[in-house]
Chains A and B, each alone.
Chain A
Amino acid sequence: MSKEEILKIPREEFFKSVKMEYRRYFEPFEEPESVYPDGRVNIDCPCLHSALAHRCGYLIRQALVCFNASKTTPRGMDCEKEFMTHAICTEEAKSQN
């Protein structure tokens, strides 16, 4: 059997500040954001992979590109057609099978 060390850390000691050399492991983590601060959608977000890989994925890609390029306020008012085309495609796909 290999060496097994057991340590116990009491509560008070735990809440004392961590030594400098270990602090960097605790830096905040960055996740890829799905929406940029200016309101555009991040098309590379992994959250969209499933929708884009779908057989109707090219339609949502077009819709999102239109959305990002849209200058209307609120953004995307002029992209309704693209989004509807995509929604219709996925409906058909679902009912086909």
Chain B
Amino acid sequence: MLLRAVGRQMTSVIRQQTAVRSITMTRVALGGGGHHHGEYKLKSLRVLYQILPEPQPVYIPKPGSLDWTLCGNSHAKSAHPHEPHKTDVGSMVGAAVFIGLTLAAVLIKTDTFKKDEGHHHGHSAKHSAHKEEVHHEEPEEKHVEPEVDPRKPEEVIAVREAPAAVEEPVPTTSKQEQEEKAVEEAAGTKKAESEETSVEPQGTTSKQEPDGTSATEEPVPSTSKTTEEPTPSESKQENSTLHCEYVIIGSGTAAYYASLAIRAKQAEAKVLMIGEESELPYNRPPLSKELWWYGDETAASKLDYTSLSGKKRDIFYEVEGFFVSPEDIRKAPHGGVSLIRGKKAIKICVDDKKVILEDGTTIGYDKVLIATGVRPKKEKVFDDASEEAKEKITYFHYPKDFKRVERGLADKSIQKLAIIGNGLLASELAYSIKRKYGENVEVHQVYEQKYPAEDILPTHLAQKSFEAIKNSGVNIRAEQRIEGVRKCCKNVVLKLSDGTELRSDMIIVATGEEPNSEIIEASGLKTSEKEGGVRADKYLKVAENVWAAGAIATFDDNILGSRRISSWENAQVSGRLAGENMATAGKTEKAFWYQPSFFTKFAPHLHINAVGQCDSTLETVTVYAEPDGENPLEKAVVFYKSKENGNVVGVLLVNVFGPSLDVARRIIDDQKKVEEFKEIAKLFPLYEPPKVEEETNEKSP
């Protein structure tokens, strides 16, 4: 009895969390400096030219043209009469002493020189730039020296920080900045020189300077490198570093479920999601299904619909209060999930364990998950259209696309709609929009192939879908290529390959999708040529401390080989699996085992669920139930046989419900070579059992 009370308490609490949410403004969590690589060299040289007394062209020695010694003159091979370089013995000696002491301090106090592996990010070109710079730094050193000497005791600590701190800090105090800068200038100079004398430190450690205060002092160009990360607690204590245990790149379904799985396995885990989209993590399938079928006038603004149980639901997985803010996540005593919205991650430095965002912010991680997903595939004919025409063309993938189309339909500015594509998204949209707006909208579906969904469905079913979509009122223009598109009066006009023209108020392009794989290439991770996306093993692991999940991951499926699946259930299942494996890394890891399914509906009596490899180029066996009076729905099961040995690799169910998908999963996992398909079809509820009521278990995402 109290169980019920407890249950009630729990459900009421959980209900609070899932109550109607308000979509707040995007939070810009981080500012950050930049990594400006090449600019500084030019800037510093230009600044220097202004300071030097002589207006002659400055002599810049060629790399390698000088004999450098620590105490002595540099003998330029082609001496320019008015060289700015002054051979000042006093400052050379002072510099040598200073450098020697610094080196000693670094050697003793840090283990910068102990690690064998240096991190050479290919910036060796900068070393020659250093040589050029050093010349010009010499006269400056007089200014720098008196500044630096009194700071020597602090410098020892600062030097240890210099190799440690990597990214562009939120400046703590300007004094600290100047300190670090002075140290780094010296460090930069010292390191450039010492390289010549073949005291080989492990790569140069010089910091990237922010613009502002370095106008008068010479900034030290080139990127920052860590030779070795100090213990994670040290780097975490640094105020200037952003670091999170678990970093997830992406804020979609796979990312969300991974964050849940991580927190479930490791109770106090800190998770940071970095999403390019500005919305909270949301569920995508309703954008072409439930929001149209069950949504009302608030759907366009709140993205909600009335579910079959009568409750209002929106597409967001969690309210904003679920998340910890990115500023607080490091100090959060019990961890949490934090979210950076509207920022794109462009690179992962696998060796350094850092994620770099588009605006230059760097985020350190212990384990990272790539869950960047897919985006709509662009079509050339629409990208090349005029700006006027483009105003009436949209791809369909994001909530803003849904809002735009729904608002246009609701206020009657869209009365004629053309949907391009024959895939599941295009067909669903055609069906859903026609279902909601009926006679108020003219829907045309235009594609190059013969039948809708013909790369999944066997021909006879594809034909049936074609008929069903036509019967629901959609005007299908099959086997038409788009030759051109132009704006004419208030409409946009499509020129089709059979010569006709199609006028509409809006064009929705839904021809396909491509993976967001730029970050994969930029980070040097392996991509799959055949499938796109990133190569992962059966544990969804890509590289050391890097995992991948969702539509971006081409993973090894023991049964069906290497695949990349772009469906909601795969995002959920692989997100959970990757999250679990990340949290239990090194202890127990689970291989991929649960075949994801997908669900689609693009005609009133064609409710399709499928699992496994449903590819119409494979040999198929379809078992139909015979239609009888009581059964208006035509039921069928389609088995897809593998090319190699005829095993069942995919099962597609038409209007068949119940636990059928799990039965299908067992058949696929068993790699069953079926001889009698009619026998195995008995496992699926093709007919209602006599006198017992069958539950229609609608499996919606």
Contact = CB atoms under 8 A, between A and B. Distances in A.
By secondary structure, the B interface counts as mixed
Contacts of A71: none
Contacts of A87: 9, 12-13, 16
Contacts of B320: 97
Contacts of A73: 2
Interface in B584-629: 616-626, 628
Interface residues of B, number: 69
B663 interface: yes
Looking at A14, A41, A76, A83, which has the most chain B CB atoms within 10 Å of its CB?
A14
**A6, A29, A75 interface centre (most CB from chain B within 10 Å):** A6
B319 A97 contact: yes
Interface in B309-338: 317-324, 332, 334-337
Nearest to A13: B678
B479 to A, nearest CB: 15
Contact of A7 (B268, B458, B677): B677
Given A18-B679, A57-B263, A8 B624 contact: yes
B267 A9 contact: no
A18 to B, nearest CB: 5
Interface in A80-96: 83, 86-87, 90-91, 93-96
B263 A49 contact: yes
Contacts of A76: 2-3, 5-6
B261 A49 contact: yes
Contacts of A97: 22, 24, 319-321
B438 interface: no
Contacts, number: 176
Contact of A6 (B323, B460, B616, B687): B460
B620 A94 contact: no
B619 A3 contact: yes
A32 B618 CA distance: 35
A53 B670 contact: no
Interface string A1-44: 11111111111011110110010111001000001000101001
A25 B576 CA distance: 25
Contact of A75 (B3, B628, B686): B3
Contact of B683 (A16, A22, A93): A22
A19 B625 CA distance: 19
Contacts of B335: 58
Given A9-B624, A49-B263, A15 B319 contact: no
Contact of B263 (A11, A25, A53): A53
Contacts of A35: 3
A4 B264 contact: no
Given A19-B679, A26-B663, A14 B17 contact: no
A55 B260 contact: no
B23 to A, nearest CB: 10
Contacts of A15: 687, 689-690
A60 B667 CA distance: 40
Contact of B264 (A53, A55, A95): A53
A51 B260 CA distance: 9
Given A29-B659, A83-B9, A11 B264 contact: no
Contacts of A3: 619-620
B699 interface: no
Contact of B620 (A5, A10, A25): A5
A51 B17 contact: yes
B673 to A, nearest CB: 11
A26 B662 CA distance: 9
Nearest to B681: A9
Nearest to A96: B321
Contacts of B460: 4, 6
Contacts of B619: 2-5
A90 B17 contact: yes
Interface in B611-660: 616-626, 628, 659
B2 A14 contact: no
A70 to B, nearest CB: 9
B622 A55 contact: no
15 contacts: A2-B616, A4-B620, A6-B621, A8-B626, A22-B679, A24-B666, A50-B17, A50-B260, A53-B337, A57-B336, A74-B3, A77-B2, A83-B13, A90-B16, A96-B321
Given A8-B623, A50-B322, A76-B2, 6 more contacts: A5-B620, A25-B667, A50-B260, A73-B2, A74-B2, A74-B5
3 pairs of A and B residues whose beta carbons are closest in the complex: A74-B2, A93-B321, A58-B334
